[in-house]
Structures are given as C-alpha cells and as structure tokens.
Chains A and B, each alone.
Chain A
Amino acid sequence: MQVYRFEADALNALIATLRERGYKVIAPTPMDGAVVLGEITDAGQLPRGYCDEQEKGVYRLKKTDRDAFFDFNVGPRSPKRYLFPTNHVLWRSRQENGRLEIYSESDDEKPFAFLGIRPCEMKAVAVQDRVLSKGPFADRIYSNRRQKALFIPVDCTRAGKTCFCTSMGGGPEATEGYHLALTEVIDENRHFFLARPGEENSVNLLECMQAVPATAEEIKQGRDLIEKTAACMGREVNTAGVAEMLAEYRDHPHWEEIGKRCMNCTNCTMVCPTCFCFEVEDHNDLTGQNTERTRQWDSCFNLSFTYQHGGSVRHTNKARYRQWLTHKFSAWHDQFGESGCVGCGRCITWCPVGIDVTEEIQMFQEKTS
C-alpha cells in the first residue's frame, strides 16, 4: 500500500478531525513524572521534547533537546484501561413493593481513537481480543469498545532499556490491526511523519493533514530508524523451550528464591497490557433496596483471588509468582495458542522492587540446563 508523508505540525488537524468525527482521542501525555495515556484535545498535550529512562523498578521522565513528539517508550497505562475498564457497573437492581427490577447498564462511552500507542500495545490488544472477544463467551463491554475503536499507532524509533518486543515475536513497527500507522522522522532540517493506511477507508484521514505520497528517500529514512531500534532492545529472552521448561520445573527451588523478593503487590499484573483478571462484587445501599453489581480489575497475586471455602489455594508468594509467570509464558500457549507476553517491559519497570522477568527466565534456563 502507498506510504504517505505529512508535516509534524499537522498532528493538530488530525486530532481535531478525530474529535469532529466523535472520537475521544487517547494519547500519551506527561503526568506526574511519567508519560501516561489520557484524553487529549490538542497536540500541545503530547509529550513533545520528553524522553524516559527505564530500568528495573525505575522510571525517570527527562527533557530532551529534540522536538520529537514520540521519543519515549511505554508508560504504566495501556489501552487495556480503556477497552477493559478498571471498574464498571454491570447491572443495578431495585426492590419496590415486593418486586425486584433489574436494570442492565448500557456502556455509553464514546468511541476511542488511540493515537501514538506503540506496536507492542497493538499486539497486546490482539492478545486480549483472543481472550475477551474471540472465545465462546465474548465480553460485551470489551467487544463493543474494541469494535468502535480507531488505532493510530506510532512506530518506535527508540528502544527502552526494559524493552524486549523483538524476543516475543513483535518489533518496533506496527504490523497488525491499525487504521493508520505512523513513523516520526526528525533531523536537523525536517520533522515529518510517514503514514501507512491499514484499510482503504482510513486513507481519508490523511486529507486533513494534507498528506502527500512519500518519496523513496523519506520511506528509507523511516525504515532505517525502525531497523536501528529493533537492533537495540534493552532486554532479551530466548523463548525456545520456555513454555515446556516452566511447566516442567514447577517445584524448582528458584521459585522460592523469587518468592522472597516478590511483595505480591499486584503492580506487574495491573500494568501488564494483556492481564485480564477481574472480580465481581455486589453492593447494596443502607436501605437494602438498591443493589449494584460491579466488576473491577483483580490480580492473581491477591490472596482473595483463589479464596475458596477454607482458605486460599495460592497462599505463598512463591505460588502466586509462579502462577503469573507460568501463565504468561507457558499456560497461555495451551489456552490461547500464543504467548501472553508482548515484551513491553512494563512489569520490569513498574515492579517496586525491580523483579525482572527476563532475568528470572534466564535464571531458570541456566539452572535447569
């Protein structure tokens, strides 16, 4: 398909057009020392001139001397937050004159346009699709929001120190599920975006930005940046045999060692763009007449997650960490035919004590070889 080019300052026109078409534009924006996803109304809210430094348990937002809009890697929030809301009322009921009325809650959220999310996040959406909307029991809220959403990812032209997407079958270039994929190119003389329409009908989005067909040289500039990024991933996982290894060594003493460091605080599962666990609770008011059933994000690191009559199944840190890691890298294959990890590195950066999945997997590989 034809690749287009538009000038960097045309981003505002794109945002305005998306808003005119009824979308809520969700894009990266700086907040409280990090680049997070949030609703924006203007290109001025993008993290222009910012980059981040990430390491295990460490994230620092920094100013750069460049004017690039997308010079950073993923922050703590992902599209999951919008497509699979953290807290949602499923239904309400009211008891009146001995009758019980049940009201289903409609989801009247506007459609989302995700601008500037990353290729690993696109891949994570595809992973969640298989879990939440392509199985025999499609999730109504997720499927509805997902179907209405528009995706305009920006390729990565910089790899973070906790990134390892190339190990997980992905890469810094968006390859699936997008409506329009962008590559930001900036040098001493020029600042422009390359645009690849994902579908015929998304070509019309280019009009508002006065996009023109890109030259071969411009396309090469973008390609070089992506290739350079793919070659400098901060982390690496050798996935060969990992699924089988984790399934086989369930009683390996190294789990105990990780359990001593893990705080079962849930951060890794909350920031993970593919984790989908939730809990359902019923509440009523003091009169006992009005009840609502809500659903909120839950985590396999919580004691209550496996609570059954008599106690919790996974009561040790070791058991809970093992559940999470083996599900991501092993059992997910059995359940959904692929890995549950896209290599975004969030669980490494946002673990308050800096537990690194890539290191732990390597440790198992060394100890069991």
Chain B
Amino acid sequence: MTKPSLAVWKFASCDGCQLSILDCEDELLAIAGAVDIANFPEASREVKPGPYTVSLVEGSITTPHDRERIQEVRAQSGVLVAIGACATAGGIQALRNFSDVKGFTDAVYASPQYISTLETSTAISDHVKVDFELHGCPIDKYQLIRVLTDLLQGRTPLLPSESVCLDCKRAGVVCVMVTKGEPCLGPVTHTGCNALCPSYNRACFGCFGPKNTPNTTALADRCTENLGLEDEQMIRLFRTFNAGAPAFRTESERYENQNH
C-alpha cells in the first residue's frame, strides 16, 4: 500500500508554522514514516507531483496571484488543513484591512507601480473549502501531530475549541487578570497552546484567535469599566495576529466606531 502523501504550501506568512513542523524533532521520523513528504520546499528540494492526500496551507491571501494559486492547491488536495493565524484569520497582515493599502505602498516603495497586491489579507476559507483549521501564531506542534494522526486514521480531527482558561486552570496557573488586573484575552481565545503566556505570568494576547461562542463584549466591558483601559487600547488588544477573525474584528470596530 502506498503511503499517504503530504504537501506543505506557503502563502503570505512568516514561515513560523512550517518551522513548527520541522520543530517536531523527536516525532519527525515518525511523521516521515507515516506519510510521504511529497512537497515541502522548506524541508526538501525534492518536489513530487500531486495530487496529495493531505495539504497543510500556511499563510493568507494577499495578492491576485495567490488568489488563483490557492484554487490550484485545493484542486490537488484530498484534505486541506489551514494552519496558523494567517491561514485561518488573515494574520497580522490583516491590519491592512482597516487601512489604506495604496497609501502604504506609495509610502514604502520607490516604484509602487510594480506592486500587485490586494486591499485585504484574508483567510484560506474565504477562498476555498477548508477541511480543518489549526489555530495559533504559530501553531502548536502537538496539535499538528494529533491532526495528522487523526487524518491518517480516517477520523475527523477533534481539537478543543474552548477557552484558554480551561487549560490554564487545568495546569494550575494563577489567573493574571484576577491577580494583576491585566487585560487577558484568555476567556475569549481558542485553547491549544497549553496556556503558554499565562504560564509565564503574562496575559494571553489571543494568538489562537476567538474560541467558539466568544463573548468579547463582556470581556471588553470589564477591561474598560474595571481595568482602566481606554478605547484606543481596546482596539489594539483585539487587533494583533487575529485582527481579521470576525469576533475580534467586530469588537475592535465597536471601539473604533465609538459604538459601545
């Protein structure tokens, strides 16, 4: 029986999520044993032709060329998994969605007429059907291994989409919001990082994006009414790596438009 094949694709991104795959180290041989790594230019020059059983797609769609390329990737992929904040929410570069992109290109480039870019940075699922989304900036390598394992066994991957608080409390970490009054996005953020930042006594900045049924308004009200945050700080709180995720975008716009 031929091994299932794996392809890894890059769109607008920093490569950090692809590095998480290489960072698997101890498990890398097991992965290579379970799948044929057929197309992963960051790891190997050998590129085998598609179709591929599983495609991992990193990065967001920011150019007309990429908008077409993702269609080709979809056509060659059995299962398409979007990995990381860029692929699932547009990434940090989705900050452009709230600004004048032409103004940026004119200011930054000496010959802006050569720049071909879109007005927005969008998630892969805005363009093609995505079978599974793996969140985080970067993704968690253990979650990645779980997803690959489940896919190889023919199961629908099952990852928790609950709050970071759930894992924070399971790990016995002391709440930074309650003990220090820090604005922590943990209560509205998708778990999967094993409460990494709170474990180091720092508030969650939401790099895994919104959890299921996030009540961002209740959190934002607490931050402004009790923790002393100003409107400008609220906009910044929700506009980082997942600024384009609908729940975070709506909340930041509520403050930007003074609609709260």
Q: A residues engaging B (CB < 8 A)?
A: 31-34, 36, 57-61, 76-77, 81, 86-87, 260-267, 270-271, 281, 283-288, 296-297, 299, 302-304, 315, 317, 349-350, 352-354
Contacts and interface: CB of A to CB of B under 8 A. Distances in A.
Contacts of A287: 30, 33-34
Given A286-B34, A353-B221, 9 more contacts: A57-B222, A76-B169, A260-B217, A263-B188, A281-B158, A283-B146, A286-B33, A288-B152, A352-B222
A263 B148 CA distance: 31
B180 A33 contact: yes
Interface in B184-208: 184, 186-188, 201
Interface residues on B, range: 35 or more
B95 interface: no
Contacts of A86: 170-172
Contact of A353 (B160, B162, B172, B222): B222
Nearest to A355: B218
A286 B149 contact: yes
Given A270-B169, A286-B31, A317-B215, A304 B162 contact: yes
A85 to B, nearest CB: 10
B170 A284 contact: no
B165 A352 contact: yes
Contact of A266 (B146, B152, B169): B169
B170 A32 contact: no
Q: Which of B160, B180, B213 has the most chain A CB within a 10 Å cutoff?
A: B213
A315 B213 contact: yes
A349 B184 CA distance: 16
A60 B179 contact: yes
Contact of A264 (B34, B170, B213): B213
A13 B146 CA distance: 48
Given A33-B174, A352-B178, A303 B222 contact: no
Contacts of A299: 162, 166
A349 B213 CA distance: 23
A87 B222 contact: no
B170 A303 contact: no
A260 B222 CA distance: 12
Contacts of B12: none
A270 B174 contact: no
Contacts of A271: 169
A288 B38 CA distance: 21
B30 A32 contact: no
A81 B219 contact: no
A304 B160 contact: yes
7 contacts: A61-B179, A263-B215, A263-B219, A267-B165, A270-B165, A297-B169, A353-B221
Contacts of A302: 160, 162, 166
A305 to B, nearest CB: 9
Across the A-B interface, the 4 shortest Cβ-Cβ residue pairs: A270-B169, A265-B187, A33-B179, A32-B174
B165 A265 contact: yes
B226 interface: yes
Given A33-B174, A270-B169, A352-B178, A57 B163 contact: no
B80 interface: no
A244 B146 CA distance: 46
Contacts of A297: 166, 169-170
B212 interface: yes
B166 A270 contact: yes
B16 to A, nearest CB: 23
A77 B170 CA distance: 10
Contacts of B79: none
A34 B174 CA distance: 7
A59 B30 contact: no
Given A57-B226, A286-B30, A287-B30, A264 B215 contact: yes
B17 to A, nearest CB: 19
B161 interface: yes
B27 interface: yes
Contact of B170 (A36, A60, A87, A285): A87
Contacts of B221: 261, 353
A81 B170 CA distance: 9
B149 A58 contact: no
